[in-house]
Structure 1
Amino acid sequence: MSDTPKIIYTLTDEAPALATHSLLPIIDAYTDSAGIRVETRDISLAGRIIAHFPDYLTDEQKAADDLAELGEMTADPSANIIKLPNISASVPQLKEAIAELQNAGYKIPDYPEEPETDEEKEIAERYEKVKGSAVNPVLRQGNSDRRAPASVKDYARKYPHRMGAWESDNKAEVAHMDDGDFYATEKSTTFDAADKLTVTLHPKSGDAKVLKKDIEVTAGEVVDTAAMHAKPFREFIDREIADAKAKNLLFSVHLKATMMKVSDPIMFGWVVTQFYKDVMDKFGDTLHEVGFDPRSGLGDLYKNIQQLPDDKLSAIESEIARVNEESAPLAMVDSHRGISVLHWPNDIIIDASMPAMIRDSGMMWGADDDQHEAKALIPDRCYAGIYAATVEDCKKNGAFDPTTMGTVPNVGLMAQKAEEYGSHDKTFQIPADGTVRVTNSAGETVFEHEVDKGDIWRMCLAKDAAIADWVKLAVTRARDSGMPAVFWLDENRAHDAQIIAKVNKYLPEHDTDGLDIRIMEPVAAMNHTLERVRAGKDTISVTGNVLRDYLTDLFPIMELGTSAKMLSIVPLMAGGGLFETGAGGSAPKHVRQLQRENHLRWDSLGEFLALAASLEHLGKTFDNQRAKVMAEALDQANSRFLSENKSPSRKVGELDNRGSHFYLAMFWARAIADQKQDSELAETFAELASALEANEAKIVEELNSVQGEPVDLNGYYFLDPKRATEVMRPSVTLNETIAMVAAKRK
């Protein structure tokens, strides 16, 4: 273990990256005064691309693979990492980032969507390590502990966010498949001993093809396989389009084509091709020639057809317009710009889009720029039911009340890449009709699925040590909080049946006396939890990785208005700590507003909370009293920040992200100055606190006065650091005042 207290602060993308240019100089100045070093590592999409193509770059352009370094660091008991939201890039986002880097002089290769040569395949393999959920499986070497701190919950009750009304006759609904989905086809087993597995496709004609070999499994590991069948999927989409039209409901689909980087883009493409089946039937050859990929959505179609002659362009656009007019009305992502839910796969991400729909009375925006009740398609049944149950609960009981509702923390199974469904190298689109077999090292068949060409087949794994640690964390949180805990597991689902056996094995190893810990299938668990929430009672949800992702947006958005205000701690299994700062689903909208109005409404409270937890962890790990003082003072500052409502406003000309950072700096400096445990620190920060307080009106004026005009960031995925700093640090007075504490330290 290193003897030097050190915190790693990650550089990421979009709104969080912009906020970092304002907040990090404050953090650096304050922590440096306490003898704590803060270092940065770049895990942004652009940074990941650059790191994987050094042989295409000049020496000045090359950059270290910071993500790989952080992955190694998670095995160090002294690891202390603050992780901000990063882009889990879909293919369209990846291609945009590549183009931006190329325009900046980085001669990296294009993304080969259909690699044919050995060189193209090698390039594609590199990009596979960049896109989708490339970051989280590397860093999350521990299980998840996400909760709303008491100060945040009090703030939500004091300043409740808007919630749309619900009536019993509301027509909004959630639709899912009844057969042929992952839930129906899933098979699972627990391995008694370590082994190596091979996945082979045995086509009905032709030679067998090895899809993946040498998949190492450890003793006690749970392994699942499942298939999503294309034919029943397409039939399901056709039925639901017709049903949405008959009921006059907006048609929407909710997937996660970023984290689930293999499976969900394919399913998104299936929805696009079914909705625009007439367009595909009439112009399919032409669309293929211009490079249209349904997995990239209607936006990719519009972009690619611009190269066509005017007559062909007009014919395709007319047919699209006809389908839009005669089919079910499409829900919109941006009704002002005509961007529908089928334009880009990364615009409809289930964990953000479904809570927004529920918060807005089951409504989404239509092409007429007004809100209407919607049909939400969540094809796979594994978790669709929890959203359907929430919608039905709202119809029965009305909207949730943020001033009285209970809280739902989450303990999530995600250590050692547990359950990364559809986002890894063991998910395939099947090239031919046949049978997929999984065999062990002895050549014995472990799993077998009949598949058709185009179907999706996947394997996922959850290691025994990760599951044991998850159960331990659930018991710890139940004990520490006094809340009941519910494991959301379905005994009728193959995977969950194996996990239930593990839970029943490991629970007796812990002191559960007096604790309320139970296992319930997800829909029953949701109904139980919602009943308690409405009564103002708190309940810990203990879930797998994907459901963790969904619930830690759904409940915080209902409770707090945003998931960015959650405290997200990952106790690393090696002993270190990973501190996450909330969700970034709204980050693109925030950047667009900044570009239009120079107003950034990103709420950095997640960063504030993570930093306090990080400092507290560092203080305990190194027995560093100054870190403990800084953490306690920051906790006080966070509470004051919330009680005085200094969060960013949505409106231009009012306090934004930069202004909220000023108030955090002022409140934190005052808390350090007033504490009695470290007189030297108190003296250092007393002058700073007084200066910030004396110049409050001037600083706020300098920060707010720059708003209202468009601003050019000189990049989106590949920010110009100098320009970003200019935009995010416009107050000369604040900058000079913060520099005081750094100068005093020197």
Structure 2
Amino acid sequence: MARIIYTHTDEAPMLATASFLPILDAFSNTAGIDVTTRDISLAGRIVAAFSDRLPEDQREADALAELGELAKTPEANIIKLPNISASVPQLKAAVAELQGQGISLPDYPESPETDEEKDVRARYDSVKGSAVNPVLREGNSDRRAPAAVKNFAKKHPHRMGEWSKDSRTSVATMDANDFRANEKSVVADGEDTLSIVHVGSDGAETVLKPSIPVLDGEVVDSTVMRAEALDAFLREQVAAAKKQGVLFSVHLKATMMKVSDPILFGHAVRAMFPTLFDQFGDQLAAAGLSANHGLGGILTGLEEFDAELRDGVRAVIDKDLADGPDLAMVNSHKGISNLHVPSDVIIDASMPAMIRTSGHMWNSDDAEQDTLAVIPDSSYAGVYAATVEDCQKNGAFDPTTMGTVPNVGLMAQKAEEYGSHDKTFEIAADGQVEVRDASGTALMSQDVATGDIFRVCQAKDAPIRDWVQLAVRRSRESGMPAVFWLDESRAHDRNLIEKVNTYLAEEDTEDLDIQIMSPVEATKHTLARVRRGEDTISVTGNVLRDYLTDLFPIMELGTSAKMLSVVPLMNGGGLFETGAGGSAPKHVQQLIEENYLRWDSLGEFLALAESLRHLARTADNARAAVLADALDRATETLLNEGKSPQRKLGTIDNRGSHFYLAMYWAQELAQQSEDTQLAEAFGPIAQELTDSEATIAEELLAVQGSPADIGGYYRPSDAKADAVMRPSATFNRILEEISAAL
């Protein structure tokens, strides 16, 4: 049988899978397609990392490593749902839950000293942050809004907050001594093995990374964020927000940049709470309470302090809050601020949300307020600054008329910042850090001081060439102009521009409009076209791919979850991603409290259709193409009939949306003429689903309104999750009948 691998991930997408997978199984079986799952959830990855140390009955295979190898083969057909990119607080919570379920995992060591503790810490660090995507992404990214989704958004526009020309919202970023300003870049001349070495002021050498294999033509960068300059910048922004009477907010990516950005976040926490760390910094550190984990981690850890010390710390926190600017809130009802948890405010979701909401974030009184958005590194902060300035000048974007901005993103083989995780270091002593070749010659050198953040990242030549080819292909297929967002004043981008020009010369670009612009100029150019209703492909590196595929979809469609994300793998396979999962935690909370899951599986439907088409081509399975075309028509009907999940209890939720998708899909299969056997088989099934609509809808609605027990957050009970997510006996019975139809 042909095979599709459907990933088992986390939070709301995982729960939705319990409802949708039986539908997918039933329909795919009719085309001889075997849909199997692989567990790449945070919990699954934690257990796999320690399997060799666990009792035999607790061990699990490393599904992520298996899929990583599969992604390098032509047979790969993987549907990848959003997964948790874990911060340390999330990782600890998942470990505690698994331990409570009887899994013999060690505690997370905050300050490992022994070899045993260092080994444990290294295993946990391997599953922190964006550990999944770099393994699976053996191709570059093609993300776009499908025509049906874009047309629906134009007919049924989401709400956009109005912008005032008097808006005081702004973006603040560093103008020197940051990652962008200090960047150096080289192109490997032949295969080599590099190393990263710290040379202390006394000449003593410490090898930070002994072996970094590089290929001929590979672009390698080094850079440093200077801690002293960062602290000065953050103190200035705290004071500026206070003076201007706007909210102070910090926007980072502590999930993808899992080493550097939690450290940056910690610097911001210390800047906001100077008295706290002046008076109690030593006691907090001794208790393992780090600013890098956020204010929330500190407040939780205070429960272990004696009453006098606990009260003293809380009093100082209250004083710093009173003396400082108003803080942007993540959840004002629960008192959770922008600085509580590093993974709560992820820049690619938080900045578009702010722009969509009139440039406002929420204050502690649960009211909207102008905001100072602080983005320390200046590499891409100008993109958001230019967008804010555009809205202040021209007003909010109009979803009914605005153009679309697809993206072709460089990410294959851990290109750019995703590859920086194991090559990023908080510097322990003054001196220099050198990137050396195999002969010991320093290719790049950076002066460093204690506390600076040094990093190296890579982009291999073959993915860059593939990226250029994909951009040209998408421009020709779509008829849209394409813009490479590259800045000649940045060292890394200069090397990429040279390669882009070389590889463009090898392609047929006649009659195509392909340009290279700096990110700021590209933003202004693209926004002007967007406002005229014109479409423009953004061709970007890895980080901007993440940023722009949230920024533009959130303005165009109201969400990035409705984007089609195809990854043509370089060796011929296919990876099909289903959108972002940023709101997933809130959805799970609502399900547990009210048995109502608001998660929209539209991304899963779109990815599945492309996966089926890929299978039709690669496995010569004509019926898979019939299923795909029928699914697309069913998805469009679902949108037009308003059967996507609604926001309020008592209306259709994720489970109801799945039922209607199945009903419309069956109807389309019954009506199509390409495969008469399939049409005949689905005729009675479509009729039964249609006739049972009222009964099934009633069964699905009847369970709402009371708490739901799923047996865990990070690793729910399969039986309990299935019971919650499949409450309609009528629908379940009909699904069983489909497999017997052919």
2:457 is aligned to 460
Task: Return 82-91 or 309-318, whichever deviates more.
Answer: 309-318
2:648 is aligned to 651
Following TM superposition, by how much is the alpha carbon of 1:681 offset from its aligned partner in structure 2, in angstroms?
Answer: 1.2
1:694 is aligned to 691
Task: Return 44-53 or 287-296, whichever deviates more.
Answer: 287-296
Determine which of 713, 733, 738 is the counterpart of 1:736: 733
Determine which of 663, 668, 672 is the counterpart of 2:665: 668
Q: SS of the residue aligned with 1:415? A: coil
Assess if the C-alpha contact under 8 Å between 1:133 and 1:423 holds in 2: no
Q: SS of the residue aligned with 2:222? A: strand
1:556 is aligned to 553
1:339 is aligned to 336
Aligned: 1:129 with 2:120: no
Assess if the C-alpha contact under 8 Å between 2:267 and 2:291 holds in 1: yes
Determine which of 610, 621, 626 is the counterpart of 1:624: 621
Following TM superposition, by how much is the alpha carbon of 1:422 offset from its aligned partner in structure 2, in angstroms?
Answer: 7.2
Report the Cα distance in structure 2 between the residues aligned to 1:84 and 1:179, rounded to whole angstroms: 38
Report the Cα distance in structure 2 between the residues aligned to 1:706 and 1:403, rounded to whole angstroms: 36
Report the Cα distance in structure 1 between the residues aligned to 2:280 and 2:211, rounded to whole angstroms: 43
1:264 is aligned to 261
Percent identity of equivalent pairs: 61
Assess if the C-alpha contact under 8 Å between 2:330 and 2:338 holds in 1: yes
Determine which of 699, 705, 713 is the counterpart of 2:710: 713
Q: Deviations over 1:456-481 (max 9, x none)?
A: 00000000000000000000000000
Following TM superposition, by how much is the alpha carbon of 1:423 offset from its aligned partner in structure 2, in angstroms?
Answer: 4.8
Q: SS of the residue aligned with 1:664? A: helix
Q: SS of the residue aligned with 2:605? A: helix
2:100 is aligned to 103
Task: Return 75-84 or 735-744, whichever deviates more.
Answer: 735-744
2:542 is aligned to 545
TM-score, structure 1 as length reference: 0.98
Following TM superposition, by how much is the alpha carbon of 1:650 offset from its aligned partner in structure 2, in angstroms?
Answer: 0.7
1:380-395 superposed matches below 5 A: 380-395=377-392
Q: Once superposed, what is the RMSD of the aligned Cα atoms? A: 1.0
Q: Deviations over 1:256-315 (max 9, x none)?
A: 101110000000011111111101111112212222011110111011111112222111
1:35 is aligned to 32
Assess if the C-alpha contact under 8 Å between 1:332 and 1:338 holds in 2: yes
Determine which of 207, 211, 215 is the counterpart of 1:210: 207
Assess if the C-alpha contact under 8 Å between 1:100 and 1:717 holds in 2: yes
2:167 is aligned to 170
Q: SS of the residue aligned with 1:704? A: helix
Assess if the C-alpha contact under 8 Å between 1:335 and 1:366 holds in 2: yes
1:243 is aligned to 240
Assess if the C-alpha contact under 8 Å between 1:577 and 1:614 holds in 2: yes
1:419 is aligned to 416
1:585 is aligned to 582
1:308 is aligned to 305
Report the Cα distance in structure 1 between the residues aligned to 2:460 and 2:420, rounded to whole angstroms: 17
Report the Cα distance in structure 1 between the residues aligned to 2:365 and 2:532, rounded to whole angstroms: 38
1:520 is aligned to 517
TM-score, structure 2 as length reference: 0.99
1:156 is aligned to 153
Following TM superposition, by how much is the alpha carbon of 1:370 offset from its aligned partner in structure 2, in angstroms?
Answer: 1.0
Q: SS of the residue aligned with 1:404? A: coil
2:79 is aligned to 82
1:606 is aligned to 603
Assess if the C-alpha contact under 8 Å between 1:260 and 1:422 holds in 2: no
Report the Cα distance in structure 2 between the residues aligned to 1:119 and 1:59, rounded to whole angstroms: 21
Unmatched tracts of structure 2, length 5 or more = none
Assess if the C-alpha contact under 8 Å between 1:264 and 1:422 holds in 2: no
Runs of 4+ in 1 over 6 A off after TM superposition: none
Following TM superposition, by how much is the alpha carbon of 1:205 offset from its aligned partner in structure 2, in angstroms?
Answer: 2.8
Report the Cα distance in structure 2 between the residues aligned to 1:465 and 1:690, rounded to whole angstroms: 51
Assess if the C-alpha contact under 8 Å between 1:12 and 1:86 holds in 2: yes
Assess if the C-alpha contact under 8 Å between 2:420 and 2:456 holds in 1: no
Q: Deviations over 1:529-576 (max 9, x none)?
A: 000001000000000000000000000000000000000000000000
Report the Cα distance in structure 1 between the residues aligned to 2:444 and 2:596, rounded to whole angstroms: 54
Following TM superposition, by how much is the alpha carbon of 1:391 offset from its aligned partner in structure 2, in angstroms?
Answer: 0.3
1:678 is aligned to 675
Amino acid at match of 1:59: E
Determine which of 200, 204, 227 is the counterpart of 1:230: 227
Amino acid at match of 1:726: A
Following TM superposition, by how much is the alpha carbon of 1:113 offset from its aligned partner in structure 2, in angstroms?
Answer: 2.2
Assess if the C-alpha contact under 8 Å between 1:182 and 1:382 holds in 2: yes
Unmatched tracts of structure 1, length 5 or more = none
Assess if the C-alpha contact under 8 Å between 2:110 and 2:288 holds in 1: no
1:530 is aligned to 527
Q: SS of the residue aligned with 1:69? A: helix
Report the Cα distance in structure 2 between the residues aligned to 1:346 and 1:44, rounded to whole angstroms: 17
Amino acid at match of 2:734: T
1:29-68 superposed matches below 5 A: 29-68=26-65
Task: Return 164-173 or 413-422, whichever deviates more.
Answer: 413-422
Report the Cα distance in structure 2 between the residues aligned to 1:650 and 1:290, rounded to whole angstroms: 42
Assess if the C-alpha contact under 8 Å between 2:652 and 2:701 holds in 1: yes
Amino acid at match of 2:464: I
Q: SS of the residue aligned with 1:225? A: strand
Report the Cα distance in structure 2 between the residues aligned to 1:705 and 1:172, rounded to whole angstroms: 45
Report the Cα distance in structure 1 between the residues aligned to 2:81 and 2:356, rounded to whole angstroms: 25
Q: SS of the residue aligned with 1:60? A: helix
Determine which of 293, 313, 317 is the counterpart of 2:314: 317
Following TM superposition, by how much is the alpha carbon of 1:697 offset from its aligned partner in structure 2, in angstroms?
Answer: 1.4
Q: Deviations over 1:51-93 (max 9, x none)?
A: 1111332222211100000001011112100000001111111
Report the Cα distance in structure 1 between the residues aligned to 2:369 and 2:59, rounded to whole angstroms: 50
Following TM superposition, by how much is the alpha carbon of 1:318 offset from its aligned partner in structure 2, in angstroms?
Answer: 1.4
Report the Cα distance in structure 2 between the residues aligned to 1:256 and 1:8, rounded to whole angstroms: 29
Assess if the C-alpha contact under 8 Å between 1:261 and 1:422 holds in 2: no
1:94 is aligned to 91
Report the Cα distance in structure 2 between the residues aligned to 1:740 and 1:413, rounded to whole angstroms: 44
Q: SS of the residue aligned with 1:333? A: strand
Amino acid at match of 1:195: D
